[in-house]
Amino acid sequence: MRLAALLAVAAAAALAAAAPAAATSECRGLQVCVPVRGPWVLAPSPTETQYRLSCPRGYVVGGLDAELTNRALDLVFRATLGSPVNPGISTSDAAVFLGRLAGGRDPAASFRPHIGCIPTQGGGSRVPTVYAPGKPTVWRVTEIALHRPTVRVVRTCAAGEHLVAATYAVGFGTSAPPSLSVATDVHVAQALGAGRVALAIRAGPLARASLSVVQLDLVCAGGP
């Protein structure tokens, strides 16, 4: 009897492990759509984490979704002002996800962003305002794969631009979200000065085996 019970438990565990994750809906309602999935991005505190996910060339974001490891994660995306609210007006060829842990303590809290990309088409026109919303800033994004135990990266804005802000996000390219031991196996220190951003990164063996990456986002202004 005990053997039968153990076999039943083992079978149930195997079925649970084999069951696919819940389907995401970034392409729902879109006739032509290319789904793009990002890594698991750590968002373990009330401090906002930003992650930028891009469409293939010639496409714009038409739908968004995400998977969360914690219900207390607050996740939104940055949109552009304009009317009507539409792909190509409210969105561009990339989406910036903004996540924060709104309650509790969870060092491994993470989200996996998804975007549905549709072919570029002409959108509607903007509603006139006193000053039409423009694009005074540009994002300079660097994706750093952590193949070595220590990595140091220095980045600046392009010539003629000045640095407005800089953020970074830690992600993992595995199919399952990172465990606590994996999430805490990456350490990043950021320093800003003289228009430069420097990251000093330490990645342990668990993080490197989990396809860890760091995305560095520079917000720059003053260009042409």
Sign of CA dihedral 130, 52, 218, 187: positive
pLDDT per residue over 116-144, tens digit each? 999 986 443 333 334 445 568 899 999 99
User: 112 and 66: one domain?
Assistant: yes
Sign of CA dihedral 171, 144, 97, 43: positive
Count of CA atoms in the C-beta half-sphere (13 A) of 10? 6
pTM: 0.81
Q: Which domain holds residue 213?
A: 135-224
Residues 6 or more apart in contact with residue 164 via CB below 8 angstroms = 137, 219, 220, 221
The 3-class secondary structure across 18-87, one letter per residue, is HCCCCCCCCCCCCCCCEEEECCEEECCCCCCEEEEEECCCCEEEEEEEEEECCCCEEEEECCCCCCCCCC
User: 54 and 65: one domain?
Assistant: yes
User: 161 and 208: one domain?
Assistant: yes
Looking at this protein, which amino acid is placed at residue 223?
G
Q: What six digits make up the tokens of 198?
A: 């420097």
Instruction: Find the DSSP H helices in 68-184.
Output: 180-183
Last residue of a domain, one of 108, 132, 156: 132
User: 37 and 125: one domain?
Assistant: yes
CA distance 173 to 210: 7
User: 116 and 214: one domain?
Assistant: no
Say how far residue 39 (Cα) sits from the centre of its chain: 7
pLDDT per residue over 67-99, tens digit each? 999 999 999 999 988 888 889 888 999 999 999
Q: What six digits make up the tokens of 200?
A: 């000093």
CA distance 89 to 82: 6
pLDDT per residue over 22-48, tens digit each? 589 999 999 999 999 999 999 999 999
User: 82 and 68: one domain?
Assistant: yes
In the chain, the number of structural domains is 2
Q: Residue range 185-212: average pLDDT?
A: 96
